[in-house]
């Protein structure tokens, strides 16, 4: 039976309880689909519900997942040809059905958000009903699901092909590879392509293990510069290997910094509070997010909740890493000035204060007067009365003279 009218009619009758599982299996519906519908119904899947979000942090799931080091191979074989006007998206999921990466045609990705098909959501069969990645994981076999064969009504406009990926040593499932799009996705050619990609991925995993190679962390795909007086900038690698640099508006820089600070994601309401403690409404936040997607690329920004969906290198992170390592000299070297000094966002103001104070403490812990003098030259250090007092006491004749004059000026400012 071809999906469409007859399948949809069967689906509606089955959901309504007009036909039982035996009658469904005796119909012309594919047995694989009939049995999956029955499992979905028995586990209480709501055909009008949305796939739930994982309770874990997406960034940590990606960083520790065994498929992370082979994502460049998957992108090269599947995603790179599916990014522009292809009508296709490629998903890589964990063994529990959590979608870790969803990439491809940007227009398709935006439409898929309507059914909550995006990184961080759970598309196991128990959570979302019959669907190619979830059912493939349930059966541990390749699966193609066409349109109305999906259990969830929101997915009836989509078709998908999925193939599990296995550990080359234990043969246990590690995750699933899925291609979703229109009805032409469920062809033998698509299935053959996914089989070949899964085999290539499993082969690469075997080589990594054989050579005792520690899988590297995913390389940053973009960079965000937000420290010091210069205008904040976003840089991203293009498909041709070149780097595109984009100056950011203050509001866009605020949003990106807050999303980086909250890898678990932020709702529109929470983001509005962090951006403005006044009456910033969620409509304005959504409009800003839409403009930001157009500026930096939709592939870098997830939604529901809003979050960074690809690795981004932020200059402030290098400062934090040095502070945590107890390396005050390196922290100061990498700190040209405050975090987004022009920002009036309360969320950014807190992060700016935290970073400034942590650098100051790291410098003070070194007891190095040279480093202290460099700190006092920064905008953050000009009002550091304690730091100037230390220089006045221990900085020699020249240091004492300069510090004395500066302290007098601070006293005058304070009345």
pLDDT for the residue numbered 396: 73
Question: Could you say which DSSP state residue 335 is in?
Answer: -
Half-sphere exposure of 49 (CA within 13 A, CB side): 16
C-alpha to C-alpha distance for 103 and 345, rounded to whole angstroms: 31
pLDDT for the residue numbered 336: 93
pLDDT for the residue numbered 371: 83
Structure tokens at 120: 């961080």
C-alpha to C-alpha distance for 39 and 48, rounded to whole angstroms: 16
Residue 345, C-beta contacts closer than 8 angstroms, at least 6 positions apart: 254, 258, 274, 275, 276
**What 3-state DSSP class applies to 157?**
coil
pLDDT for the residue numbered 19: 80
CA dihedral 313, 319, 322, 328 (to 10 degrees): 160
CA dihedral 328, 330, 332, 338 (to 10 degrees): -110
pLDDT for the residue numbered 219: 63
pLDDT for the residue numbered 216: 58
pTM of the model: 0.53
Q: What is the pLDDT of residues 74-132, one digit of tens each?
A: 988 888 765 555 788 999 999 999 999 998 888 888 899 888 999 999 999 999 999 99
Determine which helix (DSSP H) or strand (DSSP E) holds 79, and give its type and residue range. none
Residues of the chain with pLDDT under 70: 1-4, 21, 24, 81-85, 212-220, 238-241, 398, 415
Q: Is the peptide bond before 305 cis (omega within 30 degrees of 0)?
A: yes
Instruction: Tell the residue number behind the tokens 């962390």, with chain if given.
Output: 217
Instruction: Tell the residue number behind the tokens 């510069």, with chain if given.
Output: 225
Question: Could you say which DSSP state residue 360 is in?
Answer: H
């Amino acid at each position: 039976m071809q999906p469409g009218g007859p399948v949809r009619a069967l689906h509606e009758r089955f959901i309504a309880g007009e036909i039982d599982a035996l009658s469904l299996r005796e119909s012309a519906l594919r047995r694989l689909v009939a049995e999956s519908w029955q499992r979905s119904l028995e586990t209480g899947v709501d055909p009008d519900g949305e796939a739930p979000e994982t309770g874990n942090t997406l960034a940590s799931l990606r960083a520790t997942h065994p498929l992370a080091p082979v994502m460049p191979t998957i992108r090269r074989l599947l995603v790179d040809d599916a990014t522009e006007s292809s009508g296709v998206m490629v998903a890589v999921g964990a063994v529990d059905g959590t979608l870790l990466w969803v990439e491809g045609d940007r227009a398709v990705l935006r439409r898929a958000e309507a059914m909550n098909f995006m990184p961080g959501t759970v598309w196991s069969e128990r959570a979302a009903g019959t669907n190619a990645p979830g059912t493939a994981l349930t059966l541990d076999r390749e699966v193609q699901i066409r349109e109305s064969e999906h259990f969830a009504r929101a997915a009836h406009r989509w078709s998908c092909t999925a193939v599990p990926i296995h550990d080359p040593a234990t043969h246990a499932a590690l995750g699933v590879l899925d291609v979703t799009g229109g009805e032409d996705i469920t062809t033998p050619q698509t299935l053959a392509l996914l089989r070949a990609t899964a085999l290539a991925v499993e082969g690469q995993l075997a080589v990594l293990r054989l050579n005792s190679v520690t899988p590297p962390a995913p390389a940053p795909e973009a960079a965000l510069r937000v420290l010091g007086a210069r205008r904040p900038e976003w840089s991203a690698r293009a498909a041709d290997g070149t780097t595109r640099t984009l100056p950011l508006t203050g509001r866009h820089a605020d949003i990106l910094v807050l999303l980086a600070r909250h890898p678990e994601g932020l709702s529109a309401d929470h983001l509005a509070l962090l951006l403005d403690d006044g009456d910033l409404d969620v409509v304005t936040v959504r409009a800003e997010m839409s403009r930001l997607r157009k500026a930096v690329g939709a592939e870098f920004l997830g939604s529901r909740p809003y979050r960074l969906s690809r690795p981004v290198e932020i200059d402030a992170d290098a400062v934090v890493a040095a502070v945590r390592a107890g390396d005050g000299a390196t922290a100061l070297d990498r700190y040209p000035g405050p975090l987004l000094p022009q920002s009036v966002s309360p969320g950014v103001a807190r992060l700016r204060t935290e970073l400034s104070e942590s650098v100051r403490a790291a410098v003070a812990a070194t007891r190095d007067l040279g480093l202290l003098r460099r700190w006092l030259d920064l905008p953050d250090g000009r009002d550091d009365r304690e730091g100037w007092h230390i220089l006045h006491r221990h900085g020699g004749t020249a240091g004492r003279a300069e510090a004395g004059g500066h302290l007098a000026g601070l006293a005058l400012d304070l009345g």
